[in-house]
Amino acid sequence: MSEPITEVAYLPLKPSLDLSSGEAKEVWQSTLRTIASQPGFKTGYWGKQIENPDTLQLVIDWDSLSSHQAFMSSPAYTPFLETLGDKILGGSPTLIHISFSSSPTPSSEPLSAPVTECINSFFEPTYDQSHYTTQFSQFGEKAAAIPGVKAIGLAGGWSVEKLPHENLGEGVEGNVFNVFIGWPSVEAHMEFRGTQHFGEVIPMLRDGPKTMKMWHVAFEKFE
């Protein structure tokens, strides 16, 4: 049986594009309806990065990688992309697939929170993934035991694809470990970062990757 997979897409938007009104809203809502109508689609989330609002993030759960690949190979996909490119995109999108099969909680839990902390950690191609998978599990257990912690769900998993990053070296592609942590607000997350508990658990995430990037998104669900 095929394993469920999560597509994570980063879409650079046309500068200051407003998706809440006018033609842009119509095109975007049509885009979401098209995605949701595909065989194998389970659920999806979208939102602009709070720290970089000209980047929109899509997180889409598929019943298998082959279902998403079938959509990308279908006759409808080219005009779908062309419309996005003409009306929405300000550059080329980046797309990866993540397996959350061993996550502490389903990805829907942190993605449904008011705000989601998103972390991408980049690893050298030769890195032993099982080592970090164990570390992440330990991070989840220790974080969950913190008294009064306000985090809402934790999900993490490895990318199917390898991606380049300047910190990996020129022409070098490595695996990405994607993490979602839900919070009541950005302020709640920032408050936690100032605690002793943060200092005790964060080494479990920082030990291993060559570089990490963190941001927040207030996701909206679509089905």
Last residue of a domain, one of 45, 72, 99: 99
DSSP secondary-structure letter at 2? P
pLDDT at 90: 96
223 falls within a domain: no
CA distances from 102 to 132, 133, 153, 158 (A): 12, 9, 14, 10
Considering 73, 99, 125, which residue would you say is the last residue of a domain? 99
Specify whether 81 is located in the same domain as 128: no
Q: How far is CA 148 from CA 52, 86, 115, 195, 197, in A?
A: 30, 47, 18, 12, 11
pLDDT of amino acid 210 = 95
Rounded to 10 deg, the angle between the 65-73 and 77-87 helix axes is 80
Same domain for 182 and 91, yes or no, is: no
The answer to the question of residue 148 being in a domain is: yes
pTM listed for this prediction: 0.94
Residue 25 and residue 124 share a domain: no
Question: Which residue, of 99, 130, 165, is where some domain finishes?
Answer: 99
Instruction: Report how far residue 49's alpha carbon sits from residue 37's, in angstroms, rounded to the nearest whole number.
Output: 25
Q: What is the pLDDT of residue 23?
A: 95
Same domain for 78 and 123, yes or no, is: no
Distance from C-alpha of 109 to C-alpha of 100, rounded to nearest angstrom:
12
pLDDT at 53: 96
User: Sign (positive/negative) of CA torsion 174, 180, 185, 188?
Assistant: negative
The rounded average pLDDT for each run of 10 residues, N- to C-terminus, in the chain (223 residues) is: 90 95 96 97 98 97 96 93 94 95 83 98 95 95 93 96 89 94 98 95 96 97 96
Res 167: pLDDT: 87
- Structure-block tokens of residue 173: 């592609």
Question: Which CATH number belongs to the domain containing residue 64 in this structure?
Answer: 3.30.70.100
Residues 6+ apart with CB under 8 A from 73: none
The reported pLDDT for the residue numbered 27 is 95
Domain check: are 117 and 214 in the same one? yes
Specify the number of domains making up the chain.
2
The per-residue pLDDT for 1 is 53
Domain holding 152, by residue range, is 108-218
pLDDT computed for residue 75 by the predictor: 93
- pLDDT attached to residue 106: 81
Co-location of 214 and 112 in the same domain: yes
Q: Do 114 and 209 lie in a common domain?
A: yes
